[in-house]
Amino acid sequence: MLQHLNIRDFVIVDHLELEFQPGFTVLTGETGAGKSILIDALSLVLGERADAGVVRANAARAEIEAEFDSRALPQLESWLDQNDLGGDPGVCLMRRVVDAGGRSRGFINGRSATLQQLREAGEFLVDIHGQHAHQSMLKTAAQRELLDAYAGQGRQVKETAAAWREWQALRRARLEREKNAAVYAEEMERLEWQVKELATLAFAALEWDELQAEHGRLSNAASLMEGAQFGLEVISEGDMACLAQANSVIARLNNLVEYDAGLREVLDLLEPAGVQLSEAAYSLRHYLQRLDLDPERLAQCEQRLGIIHDTARKYRVSPEQLPELLAEKTARLNELGSFGAGGDETRHEATAQSHYLDLAGKLSAARQTAAQELGEKVSAAMQSLSMADGRFEIALAACDGSSHGLEEIEFLVSAHSGLPARPLAKVASGGELSRISLAIQVITSKVSLVPTLIFDEVDVGIGGGVAEIVGQLLKKLGAERQVLCVTHLPQVAAQGNHHWQVSKESRDGSVVSRIQMLDRVLRIEEVARMLGGVEVTDTTRKHAAEMLGI
């Protein structure tokens, strides 16, 4: 239930702080006083889009804050916890700020929230029926959504739509496969020999590095052998081999070091060098023993490299990418093989279709029951609203199926006995449409779990005794929910448990809107004004008092 609303610098409101009560509250005022500003502000805090135009002239920003009692809304409390937006137990605090540049920020329980989160939370809290609701009710989609909401089938509708999408996706895949069967067969044939060719090549990325290294060694074997032999000659096997000369120098210095210890430093450098030269000579001999001129193996390497290069050029990839290419083509071939068989896909499609038809069938049954019940209740309400012979029906016309189910839904009405029921848009006049719309809204609101219902001048186009019945309907609804109604009809205003008056006044050179709770005396004056216009007489006051039962 809405408990508190704080509005600052919104349109022509400088500051309003309002406390709300349970029951039926009416808001009245002269034309242009801003009766709907309260509804607009509440809509904004519940996630409606905003622009800089909502900020009062010369103000830095507009700010709206609404406090709701959420103790009777466990689903909202759960949603808040899931979205990390929980606050004090049993309280939901919604806040919206719009600056003069049009930038908007939203908050729930003091935490930053997106517009979508504001809207989702608002769906648990408030249901707003605008004065143009009867216009949207002429649309097939709105009629279907209203019936499903009345039937309590929101979850079933979503599951049915999801099942339809899954079935259609599989159906489109099958049709695509059938349509392109020849193209896929040609692609499979091409892939088969490509995969065979690449698999026969038996090429791996590791082989490429090894093959290049081996080719480099074999193709330069003569130079390698000559260089190694030259090194061996210089180090140990030539007439002037440096190893022998180094050893000779070491031997002589060893004989002299006992005469001068200063030579020990030179020996310490030469002796390791001798060891290193000796090991180098050993390694070169071992290398020459292993090194072999193998023209046949060289030819094999060059042939293998040539095949690999030719294959890579053919497929326009680098040699290193050939294994990856084989994997890709093999995967595509397997995919087309499965696609071409189509057995599993056909079975999946049949299963998805069966699942959709099962869900849609259950939805149809629920709609049939709800349509009968809602038709009877709206018909009774129409008859109480000066449409004595009025009849309301909901037609469920079977169709081939869609994401919305197995039927098209259309509201039908007959305003007079003996006349067949026809589509709502074709037979209802403006006044009748307003009354029918109001009857539907009041009745469907009774099954809603939303605790606060707001009616923004939904009584446009009616008057007299019908208006009084409308007021009684709203008052009756107020016994079950918190109901707020912006109205211009005294018959409706007189039925309110609480009465607020909206007016404009000039303050510091600008026009501002103010709202005050009316006591018994002021309420008589306001209803009398609504009855008699500008001139309020004792007669209209007396009539107003009678309407109010005072």
Query: Over the stretch 65-94, which tens digit does the pLDDT of each residue have?
Result: 999 999 989 889 999 999 999 989 899 999
**What is the dihedral angle through the alpha carbons of 43, 45, 46, 51, rounded to the nearest 10 degrees?**
70
Of all residues in the chain, what percent are helix, strand and coil, respectively (each to 5)?
60, 20, 20
Does a structural domain hold residue 275? Answer: yes
How many CA atoms, within 13 angstroms, populate the side-chain half-sphere of residue 184? Answer: 18
**What is the dihedral angle through the alpha carbons of 34, 40, 42, 44, rounded to the nearest 10 degrees?**
-140
Question: For strand 452-456 and strand 126-129, is the pairing parallel, antiparallel, or unpaired?
Answer: parallel
Residue 75 sits in the same domain as residue 214: no
Residue 204 sits in the same domain as residue 332: yes
> With a threshold of 0.75, does the pTM exceed it?
no
What are residue 486's phi and psi, to 5 degrees? -85, 120
Pick the more confident residue, 296 or 63. 63
Helix axes 264-290, 221-232, angle to 10 degrees: 150
Does a structural domain hold residue 346? Answer: no
| Spatial separation of the C-alpha atoms in residues 151 and 146, rounded to whole Å | 9
| Spatial separation of the C-alpha atoms in residues 297 and 314, rounded to whole Å | 26
CATH (domain of 123): 3.40.50.300
Decide if pLDDT at 499 tops 70.
yes
Does a structural domain hold residue 255? Answer: yes
Last residue of a domain, one of 291, 308, 340: 340
Mean pLDDT within 48-62: 90
Residue 115 sits in the same domain as residue 200: no
Give me the amino acid identity at 37: I
Residue 114 sits in the same domain as residue 255: no
Cβ–Cβ under 8 Å, residues 197 and 311: yes
Alpha helices in 342-446 (DSSP H): 343-384, 424-427, 430-446
Beta-bridged to residue 305, according to DSSP, are none
Residue 206 sits in the same domain as residue 83: no
Cβ–Cβ under 8 Å, residues 37 and 12: yes
Point out the least confidently predicted range of 70-74, 169-173, 236-240, 278-282. 236-240
Mean pLDDT within 352-375: 96
Mean pLDDT within 329-341: 76
Residue 233 sits in the same domain as residue 109: no
Does a structural domain hold residue 76? Answer: yes
Query: Over the stretch 269-314, which tens digit does the pLDDT of each residue have?
Result: 888 888 888 888 888 777 666 666 566 767 777 788 888 888 889 8
Residue 191 sits in the same domain as residue 329: yes
Mean pLDDT within 429-447: 74
SS3 label, residue 408: strand
Residue 223 sits in the same domain as residue 329: yes
Beta-bridged to residue 513, according to DSSP, are 504
Q: Which of 337, 357, 372, 351 is nearest to 407 (CA)?
A: 357
How many domains, in total, are found in the chain? 2
- Domain holding 94, by residue range, is 1-129+497-515
Residue 122 sits in the same domain as residue 191: no
Reading the block at residue 54, the tokens are: 């909502």
| Spatial separation of the C-alpha atoms in residues 439 and 470, rounded to whole Å | 8
| Spatial separation of the C-alpha atoms in residues 358 and 537, rounded to whole Å | 67
| Spatial separation of the C-alpha atoms in residues 193 and 162, rounded to whole Å | 42
How many CA atoms, within 13 angstroms, populate the side-chain half-sphere of residue 281? Answer: 17
How many CA atoms, within 13 angstroms, populate the side-chain half-sphere of residue 88? Answer: 7
Does a structural domain hold residue 3? Answer: yes
Point out the least confidently predicted range of 56-60, 296-300, 344-348, 519-523. 296-300
Does a structural domain hold residue 504? Answer: yes
Does a structural domain hold residue 524? Answer: no
Cβ–Cβ under 8 Å, residues 113 and 106: yes
Length of the chain: 550
Residue 193 sits in the same domain as residue 58: no
Pick the more confident residue, 269 or 214. 269
Residue 76 sits in the same domain as residue 194: no
Residue 228 pLDDT level (bands cut at 50, 70, 90): low
pLDDT of residue 407: 95
Query: Over the stretch 119-146, which tens digit does the pLDDT of each residue have?
Result: 999 989 998 877 665 566 778 888 898 8
Mean pLDDT within 371-388: 87
What are residue 514's phi and psi, to 5 degrees? -135, 150
Reading the block at residue 23, the tokens are: 């029951």
pLDDT of residue 219: 66
Residue 119 sits in the same domain as residue 197: no
Reading the block at residue 321, the tokens are: 């990418």
